[in-house]
Amino acid sequence: MKHRVDDQIMGNRFSMVLFGAFAGLALLLAALGIYGVMAFAVAQRRHEIGLRMALGAQQSQVMQLILTDGMKLALTGIVVGLAGVYGLGRLMRSTLYGIEVVDLRSLAAVSVVLLMAALIASYVPARRSAKIDPMVALRSE
Protein backbone atom coordinates (compact mmCIF):
# COMPACT_ATOMS: atom_id res chain seq x y z
CA MET A 1 0.00 0.00 0.00
CA LYS A 2 2.86 2.40 0.84
CA HIS A 3 4.33 1.79 -2.61
CA ARG A 4 1.03 2.69 -4.31
CA VAL A 5 0.68 5.88 -2.26
CA ASP A 6 4.28 6.86 -3.07
CA ASP A 7 3.63 6.27 -6.78
CA GLN A 8 0.57 8.53 -6.69
CA ILE A 9 2.34 11.27 -4.74
CA MET A 10 5.46 11.14 -6.92
CA GLY A 11 3.67 12.88 -9.83
CA ASN A 12 2.52 15.67 -7.53
CA ARG A 13 5.95 15.95 -5.95
CA PHE A 14 7.60 16.24 -9.37
CA SER A 15 5.13 18.95 -10.38
CA MET A 16 5.82 20.93 -7.22
CA VAL A 17 9.60 20.67 -7.69
CA LEU A 18 9.21 21.74 -11.32
CA PHE A 19 6.99 24.71 -10.39
CA GLY A 20 9.42 25.66 -7.63
CA ALA A 21 12.35 25.55 -10.05
CA PHE A 22 10.50 27.75 -12.53
CA ALA A 23 9.54 30.17 -9.75
CA GLY A 24 13.17 30.38 -8.63
CA LEU A 25 14.29 30.96 -12.21
CA ALA A 26 11.65 33.69 -12.63
CA LEU A 27 12.83 35.38 -9.42
CA LEU A 28 16.44 35.24 -10.62
CA LEU A 29 15.50 36.72 -13.99
CA ALA A 30 13.48 39.48 -12.31
CA ALA A 31 16.41 40.34 -10.04
CA LEU A 32 18.83 40.37 -13.00
CA GLY A 33 16.44 42.61 -14.93
CA ILE A 34 16.18 45.07 -12.06
CA TYR A 35 19.94 45.00 -11.66
CA GLY A 36 20.41 45.72 -15.36
CA VAL A 37 17.95 48.61 -15.35
CA MET A 38 19.45 50.14 -12.23
CA ALA A 39 23.03 49.72 -13.48
CA PHE A 40 22.03 51.43 -16.74
CA ALA A 41 20.29 54.23 -14.83
CA VAL A 42 23.38 54.77 -12.69
CA ALA A 43 25.59 54.87 -15.79
CA GLN A 44 23.27 57.42 -17.41
CA ARG A 45 23.16 59.57 -14.26
CA ARG A 46 26.88 59.39 -13.52
CA HIS A 47 27.39 63.08 -14.27
CA GLU A 48 24.45 64.05 -12.02
CA ILE A 49 25.70 61.82 -9.21
CA GLY A 50 29.19 63.29 -9.52
CA LEU A 51 27.73 66.79 -9.37
CA ARG A 52 25.69 65.93 -6.29
CA MET A 53 28.75 64.53 -4.57
CA ALA A 54 30.84 67.55 -5.58
CA LEU A 55 28.21 69.81 -4.01
CA GLY A 56 28.39 67.89 -0.75
CA ALA A 57 26.08 64.89 -0.95
CA GLN A 58 27.16 62.04 1.27
CA GLN A 59 27.58 58.47 0.04
CA SER A 60 24.56 57.40 2.07
CA GLN A 61 22.41 60.05 0.36
CA VAL A 62 23.50 58.88 -3.08
CA MET A 63 22.79 55.26 -2.15
CA GLN A 64 19.39 56.26 -0.81
CA LEU A 65 18.61 58.06 -4.08
CA ILE A 66 19.41 55.00 -6.20
CA LEU A 67 17.70 52.56 -3.82
CA THR A 68 14.58 54.74 -3.78
CA ASP A 69 14.46 54.66 -7.58
CA GLY A 70 14.80 50.87 -7.53
CA MET A 71 12.06 50.48 -4.94
CA LYS A 72 9.73 52.77 -6.90
CA LEU A 73 10.29 50.58 -9.95
CA ALA A 74 9.65 47.41 -7.94
CA LEU A 75 6.55 48.79 -6.22
CA THR A 76 5.10 49.89 -9.55
CA GLY A 77 5.66 46.39 -10.93
CA ILE A 78 4.10 44.78 -7.87
CA VAL A 79 1.01 47.01 -8.04
CA VAL A 80 0.53 46.26 -11.74
CA GLY A 81 1.11 42.56 -11.08
CA LEU A 82 -1.37 42.47 -8.19
CA ALA A 83 -3.98 44.15 -10.37
CA GLY A 84 -3.37 41.49 -13.01
CA VAL A 85 -3.61 38.72 -10.43
CA TYR A 86 -6.91 40.10 -9.17
CA GLY A 87 -8.37 40.33 -12.67
CA LEU A 88 -7.15 36.86 -13.63
CA GLY A 89 -8.44 35.46 -10.32
CA ARG A 90 -11.90 36.85 -11.00
CA LEU A 91 -11.83 35.38 -14.50
CA MET A 92 -10.72 31.97 -13.22
CA ARG A 93 -13.31 32.04 -10.46
CA SER A 94 -16.09 32.41 -13.00
CA THR A 95 -14.64 29.57 -15.08
CA LEU A 96 -13.44 27.06 -12.47
CA TYR A 97 -15.14 25.78 -9.37
CA GLY A 98 -13.53 26.40 -5.97
CA ILE A 99 -10.97 29.00 -7.02
CA GLU A 100 -10.50 31.93 -4.62
CA VAL A 101 -10.12 35.41 -6.10
CA VAL A 102 -7.16 36.36 -3.91
CA ASP A 103 -5.11 34.63 -1.25
CA LEU A 104 -3.79 37.55 0.77
CA ARG A 105 -1.09 35.60 2.61
CA SER A 106 0.37 34.19 -0.60
CA LEU A 107 0.28 37.53 -2.39
CA ALA A 108 1.85 39.29 0.59
CA ALA A 109 4.61 36.68 0.82
CA VAL A 110 5.37 36.91 -2.89
CA SER A 111 5.34 40.71 -2.76
CA VAL A 112 7.80 40.74 0.15
CA VAL A 113 10.12 38.27 -1.62
CA LEU A 114 10.04 40.37 -4.79
CA LEU A 115 10.72 43.56 -2.84
CA MET A 116 13.69 41.94 -1.11
CA ALA A 117 15.03 40.71 -4.47
CA ALA A 118 14.63 44.23 -5.89
CA LEU A 119 16.38 45.72 -2.87
CA ILE A 120 19.32 43.36 -3.25
CA ALA A 121 19.45 43.91 -7.02
CA SER A 122 19.42 47.70 -6.53
CA TYR A 123 22.00 47.66 -3.76
CA VAL A 124 24.98 46.80 -6.00
CA PRO A 125 24.49 49.71 -8.45
CA ALA A 126 23.69 52.02 -5.52
CA ARG A 127 26.90 51.07 -3.77
CA ARG A 128 28.87 51.51 -6.98
CA SER A 129 27.30 54.93 -7.54
CA ALA A 130 28.23 56.05 -4.04
CA LYS A 131 31.90 55.36 -4.78
CA ILE A 132 32.02 57.53 -7.90
CA ASP A 133 34.82 60.06 -7.76
CA PRO A 134 33.14 63.45 -8.38
CA MET A 135 36.03 64.87 -10.38
CA VAL A 136 36.24 61.88 -12.70
CA ALA A 137 32.46 61.90 -13.20
CA LEU A 138 32.40 65.62 -13.97
CA ARG A 139 35.27 65.39 -16.47
CA SER A 140 33.75 62.50 -18.41
CA GLU A 141 30.98 63.03 -20.91
Per-residue pLDDT of 75-107, as tens digits, reads 999 999 999 988 888 777 777 666 676 778 888
d(CA 78, CA 111): 7
For residue 123, the enclosing domain spans 33-139
This prediction's pTM:
0.76
In this predicted structure, the answer to whether residue 16 has a pLDDT above a threshold of 70 is yes
In this predicted structure, the answer to whether residue 42 has a pLDDT above a threshold of 90 is no
pLDDT reported for residue 98: 66
Residue 127 domain-assigned (yes or no): yes
Tally of domains within the chain: 1
Residue 90 domain-assigned (yes or no): yes
Residue 114 domain-assigned (yes or no): yes
Residue 75 domain-assigned (yes or no): yes
Residue 24 domain-assigned (yes or no): no
Instruction: Decide if 34 contacts 21 (C-beta within 8 A).
Output: no
Provide the mean pLDDT of the chain: 85
